Amino acid sequence: MKKRLTRKLYLAMATVLAGGVLFSSARASHHFESLLAKQFPAYDLTDLYVFDAEKPGRTVFLMDVNPTTKGDGKPVLGENGVYSFHIASNRNMTGKGLTITAHVEGSELAIGVVDRANPAVGTLGNEVGRVPIGAEKVLGNGIRVWSGAARDPFVGNSDGIIKFNREFDESTLDLRAFENAKDLFTTFYTTALVMEVPNELLPSEIAVFASSAMYNIDKWEQVNRLANPLMTHLFMHNNPMEVSEHVGHRPDRDMTRKYALSGNVLKAVVLDGRIKDPVAYADSIANRLLPDMLTYKVGTKAAYTVDSLNGRRPSDDAMDVALSLFLGRAVTDYANTFDRHPKSFPYVVPAVAGMNK
């Protein structure tokens, strides 16, 4: 594992971020937020989903990575790193927890388990099995694993949020930015890591985040981490220093960035002029979203909504929820192409050769 990444992973990118602004050809709800993610997009995390499985008694953890994935049916994962689902019993990451990891070994994914939710960067854990990349397998501990290229399940009006943020930078609130009603991601692809875990292996209530790390020259470095959608591209928009800190560290340091999130929400609700106590509202949203983890009551129906942030399903309208939380009232991006969200394992639409032609 501890070898330099080959240049074949230094993929050409159609998009970059400048000063934290998302440009129109970006590919998912999180994109290229760190220098390493820009250089090595195979480690760029784009979305995290946590929800109840099709069969009772199991919970699904789905991580989308590498927004440069093509529709040729070929998943692209980093060969010198690790992808991790961090599963804690609370957002303070105290008490019972575990981390489920995946790293590439030849043509297989080696799956590891760590008995805590916040292990050191680069921890692989105790190996519990291997699964061919692009295939499905149930491991001895009951965890069902699939990886592969798939249609990007994220639904969102990327052009709209770019225009919205541009106006917001000029202290103007313009929801007409979303009137094009275009879902940019309907033709995009991702590399998906899916793990369906027996509930008996999990705490009864969980707080989850995903991370990626790579061994870079002579040390392990965290490339990215995420949980709530649009955290950096809306709630921390136009604050590249805080974004860099956010993706480079773990949730146990998130409250040091509370001011960055609450400040943006405060500006939004003041411009909108509909919240009676904008300071209290802004602080409440910061406290609700930080530490940045998806909370979920195991065994219940997952739903990522304004009223209930209980896990997140791929079919949840996450951009609408984020915008509504940001402004304190119902807001839509008008992008509603929820046509690529199967209810059965692996819960994504696998890409096949020639799909993007």
* Domain layout of the chain by residue ranges: 7-327
Q: Is the per-residue pLDDT at 18 higher than 90?
A: no
Structure tokens at 112: 């590891």
How far apart CA 306 and CA 323 sit, in angstroms, is: 10
Whole-number pLDDT of residue 357: 52
Whole-number pLDDT of residue 28: 40
How far apart CA 152 and CA 147 sit, in angstroms, is: 13
The reply to whether the predicted model has a pTM over 0.85 is: yes
Q: Is the per-residue pLDDT at 251 higher than 60?
A: yes
How far apart CA 292 and CA 296 sit, in angstroms, is: 13
List the single range of 29-43, 58-72, 331-345 with lowest mean pLDDT.
29-43
Q: Is the per-residue pLDDT at 11 higher than 50?
A: no
Long-range contacts of 137-142 (CB under 8 A, 24+ apart): 139/111, 141/113, 141/198, 141/201, 142/197, 142/198, 142/201
Instruction: Identify which has the larger pLDDT, 272 or 2.
Output: 272
Structure tokens at 188: 């995009």
135-149 tens-digit pLDDT: 999 999 999 999 999
Q: Is the per-residue pLDDT at 313 higher than 90?
A: yes
Whole-number pLDDT of residue 32: 75
Are the C-beta atoms of 121 and 221 separated by less than 8 Å? Answer: yes
How far lies 178's CA from each of 36, 161, 167, 201, in Å?
31, 7, 12, 42
What average pLDDT does range 171-178 have in this prediction?
97
Structure tokens at 195: 């793990």
Cβ within 8 Å of residue 297, ≥6 positions away: 204, 205, 310
